[in-house]
Amino acid sequence: MGYGKWIGGIMGFMTMGPLGALAGFAIGSLFDKSVTAQEEIDGGYGSTAQEDVYTGQRNSFLFSMLVMASYIIRADGRIMHSEMEFVRQFLRVNFGEASVSEGERILLNLFVIPAMSPLLISAVLGGLLGFFSYVAAFLGCIPAVVLLRTFEMIFRLVKQIPGAVIVTGCPPWWEILFLYLIEISFFFLWYYRQKGFSVIFCLFLIAGRCFFTVPALKITMLDVGQGECIFIKMPTGESMLIDGGSTSKKNIAEYTLVPALKYYGTDHLDYVIITHTDEDHISGIRELFEQNYPIKHIVLPDTKAMNSSNTIRKAGKKKGYSFLKISRADQLNFGAIHLRCLHPQKGWEAEDTNSGSLVLYLTYDKFTMLFTGDLNGEQESLLEPDRGEESMPSVNILKVAHHGSKNSTTKSFLEEFQPQKAIISAGKNNLYGHPHKETIKKLQKNGADIYGTLWGGAIIIESDGQKYKINYFKRG
């Protein structure tokens, strides 16, 4: 009896959990088969046993590659546990990214695979020596550390090659299950030669895939501390960012914005909308400019202040980005989704940038949402439709203006729009006291359920145009 399957199962469970145990058991079983066949050769059983060796080795390699590929999908854009950090680097998975070039994969594996044995020996040796001497453990781990650093350097260089990486995002559980089932069917086809079963099973899975629902509109208010950033993923595929800045967190593009975009499978932005130019709304966007992040259009309010001296506009033009200016009655359309500008009027004049904030009214069939930037209470009365303009029903969700400031979200404004839910972006224990108690009371008195990034982190909204759901992001 071979012990490969038991060793593989135990090691798989220790590294990847129950699924790893299953994969390790299967790979170990294939290894046992090849070893048994080799013994038959040594005993003089001839060419049939030799073929079994090649079959066992080939199938073991194939299945291990399938397990590794499935782990790439299983990684699904989330930050992994620390004990799997090396696996993340080894598989070139980083917040939902995966290498797609077969040539690059082969070249990397030519270096990585031979180095795995000395790496593991060094790591195990260092661990054992650690029971006796810290210095000995350190020396024993030096080869492993050098190899890991070398791997990381090579992977980073390969990642810079155009087209070397695609952004896979974080697939839902049913997509991961779907891919696992496809892998299993191919395994049956390869190993058991069950061509009929595998073909029928694959056709069944592909047919079932056609009945999945159309992607929903996804709106995420990211947790950027004392600032604001809203990401929108349209059902038609377009991606949009409304503001992106913070005064309490640094490098939010690197540590929050870009990882969030990768989580949603986005490697570019079709629109970046800047409601106004306060630092807590644009610091991350400026960082995106510095990274030369792919952005098709940058949308600004058509105000005199924006048309004159403006640092964010100058920084974007220097990088070659395209700018659009919108004002009241202008509209952006994405299939059944319409984003109408309610404020400011064209050529708006004001020293206070908050008063000229872009206000956008989103409609998707029966679903409505209002984005208010940092609009002051004085300007909220200007949002009512003029004569001849289409009237606006009550909104399902209100993005509360100015982080819940005392000077915004007036009683008359709430009576006009009657929001069912209200979302607030503010930093925990911020210096400004946002959101203000008076604003919270007004929203509660008006019957709105309140969500805030300072209480539960990022806020996720999904809608199919008929119904919607809202919740905090579940950290896994």
- Binned at pLDDT 50, 70 and 90, residue 171 comes out as confident
Q: Please classify residue 398 by burial: count the beta carbons closer than 10 Å to its beta carbon, then call 0-12 exposed, 13-18 middle and 19+ buried.
A: buried
Structure confidence at residue 49 (pLDDT): 46
Tell me if the bond preceding 344 is cis, omega within 30° of 0: yes
Residue located via tokens 């086809």: 189
Structure confidence at residue 134 (pLDDT): 79
Lowest mean pLDDT among 21-25, 86-90, 449-453: 86-90
> Which residues partner with 424 through β-bridges?
452
Neighbours of 431 (CB within 10 A): 9
For all residues of the chain together, what is the average pLDDT? 78
Percentage, residues of the chain above pLDDT 70: 66
Q: What is the pLDDT of residues 215-272, one digit of tens each?
A: 799 999 999 999 999 999 999 999 999 999 999 999 999 999 999 999 998 989 999 9
Q: Is the pLDDT of residue 419 over 80?
A: yes
CA distances from residue 227 to 300, 421, 429 in whole angstroms, order as listed:
18, 20, 13
Q: What is the pLDDT of residues 188-227, one digit of tens each?
A: 666 666 556 656 666 665 655 555 556 799 999 999 999 9
Residue 146 and residue 152: Cα distance in Å, rounded?
10
- Binned at pLDDT 50, 70 and 90, residue 163 comes out as low
Q: Please classify residue 154 by burial: count the beta carbons closer than 10 Å to its beta carbon, then call 0-12 exposed, 13-18 middle and 19+ buried.
A: middle
| E strands, 287-366, in order | 295-301, 323-326, 331-334, 337-343, 359-364
Q: With contact defined as beta carbons under 8 Å apart, do 100 and 94 qualify?
A: no
Expressed in angstroms, the distance from the first to the final Cα of the chain is: 40
The per-residue DSSP string of 185-219 comes to: HHHHHHHT--HHHHHHHHHHHHHHHTTSPPPPEEE
Q: What is the pLDDT of residues 291-310, one digit of tens each?
A: 999 999 999 999 887 765 57
Q: Is the pLDDT of residue 399 over 70?
A: yes
Lowest mean pLDDT among 24-38, 162-176, 240-254, 396-410: 24-38
Neighbours of 297 (CB within 10 A): 15
Q: What is the DSSP letter of 282?
A: H
In this prediction the pTM is 0.71
Residue 49 and residue 39: Cα distance in Å, rounded?
9
**Nearest CA-CA partner of 254 in 83, 64, 94:** 94
Structure confidence at residue 395 (pLDDT): 96
Structure confidence at residue 225 (pLDDT): 96
**Nearest CA-CA partner of 33 in 8, 5, 14:** 5
Q: What is the pLDDT of residues 104-160, one digit of tens each?
A: 565 666 677 778 788 888 888 887 887 788 788 888 888 888 888 888 887 777 777
How would you classify residue 141: left for phi > 0, otherwise alpha for psi between -120 and 50, otherwise beta? alpha
Lowest mean pLDDT among 182-186, 194-198, 453-457: 194-198
